[in-house]
Structure 1
């Protein structure tokens, strides 16, 4: 009667990011809606112009960008004594700018953080290009299957049962009836908030450090040894 082995294989790889997408917001508030709205529109126009001179879908440094609609709202804040204050109007718009040159990314963000009053950096998403992401995922899954085969063979060798052969391979969790696949990895872009650092002269400067992309995979496999 054959002996059956059920094992889980895994593998993780790291690769330097190839794209960085800036997530930013332009926003103002004030006692009247019109000047607040007009200030956002004016600053947005200046930011758009700074993006357009860098935009080239194939060669960068900006390969893609987008903005959302301007949001407006109002609220009546309360002071520390529990008194409701006059109405405050708000206007804001979110934008995303994808860079392939990280030096240009840092320069562009630093310029608007210091020169554009309503500009705020929400974060940067570091990622791979689609083709390289798929290639890396394929390589990681292959190594995870190889890891499962190695584990099964080690069990068989410990029992002196000879060579094992595969009878089933699945995403992690799918070999157990009624269980859905586990999240076995993929390209998970890393988001890191911008930080401020001090240079040797004591001045503040923007520090944006791209983090390696982690891609991992897990597989379940069943082997038998005669």
Structure 2
């Protein structure tokens, strides 16, 4: 918080004949900070909101390996088609399917010299966005049962247009105003006007599935997929999202009673 400070006249550019003097334009932003008749208070507003997730994202990788390039490509294409067919069975429960990185590369013989190829390795990464959280565990299990398919992680998240984002921003603004009023009241003054409001951004808690066990459980399903004809569906509990927002604000207040 800035406090009022006394300042005298000068013959410089901010003196009587300068732009900030009686003959100048009198731009409020050009006035010295802490002018006795317009003291300012600068505060930071913060807010944290916890909410139930609205969507889940599954990271799935399909792989293929073969002695020749064509065979590896054919296997990769077939397995990726099986994955997409399975995911599409869930209809409207799946909101979006996005294919990510695709790699097909030769693997060189480490024991020999030159460019002797011993095999070809291919992989397709797919992100599946699920709107019906009740089917996430079942879908992750069925994906992990597919041939040479790995479920890397499950992320719980909010949609970009979720009303939670609006709520946390408004709470941060109210927090800044509350702080400014408390500072003003401590000086026997009151907040009179808003000068500036700057959004520092909003941060959602990082995806936690991999860190808290969701990803590990999905990989365990992949590792045990060949031990039984049908694996039991994973029981995944959606984790609440924590959203944080912060703003900086500047206000003017009435002259304090010191």
One fold, TM greater than 0.5? yes
Tell me which structure has the larger Cα radius of gyration.
Answer: 2
* Aligned residues: CA RMSD: 2.8
Measured after TM superposition, the shift of residue 70 of structure 1 is: 4.7
1:97 matched residue in structure 2: 128
Aligned length: 201
For residues 49 and 75 of structure 1, the distance between their equivalents in structure 2, rounded to whole angstroms, comes to: 30
Q: Which runs of 4+ in 1 moved over 3 A?
A: 83-86, 186-189, 203-209
Preserved CA contact (<8 Å) 2:137 2:233: no
Note the 1:1-226 alignment, pairs <5 A. 1=36, 2-56=38-92, 61-68=93-100, 70-76=102-108, 78=110, 87-113=118-144, 115-131=145-161, 133=162, 135-161=163-189, 163-172=190-199, 182=200, 184-185=201-202, 190-193=207-210, 194-196=215-217, 206=234, 208-226=236-254
Preserved CA contact (<8 Å) 1:165 1:225: yes
Q: TM-score scaled by structure 1? A: 0.76
Q: Secondary structure at the match of 1:160?
A: coil
Residue deviations 1:108-155, cap 9 Å, x none? 111221x22311123223222344x2x222222211111111111111
Choose between structure 1 and 2: higher strand proportion: 1
For residues 233 and 102 of structure 2, the distance between their equivalents in structure 1, rounded to whole angstroms, comes to: 29
Measured after TM superposition, the shift of residue 191 of structure 1 is: 5.0
For residues 164 and 100 of structure 2, the distance between their equivalents in structure 1, rounded to whole angstroms, comes to: 32
Q: Secondary structure at the match of 1:87?
A: strand
Preserved CA contact (<8 Å) 2:57 2:155: yes
Q: Secondary structure at the match of 1:117?
A: coil
For residues 103 and 250 of structure 2, the distance between their equivalents in structure 1, rounded to whole angstroms, comes to: 54
Q: Secondary structure at the match of 1:190?
A: coil
For residues 166 and 214 of structure 1, the distance between their equivalents in structure 2, rounded to whole angstroms, comes to: 32
What are the ranges of 5 or more consecutive residues in structure 2 without an aligned counterpart?
Answer: 1-35, 221-230
Q: TM-score scaled by structure 2? A: 0.67
Preserved CA contact (<8 Å) 1:168 1:221: yes
Preserved CA contact (<8 Å) 2:68 2:119: yes
For residues 253 and 140 of structure 2, the distance between their equivalents in structure 1, rounded to whole angstroms, comes to: 60
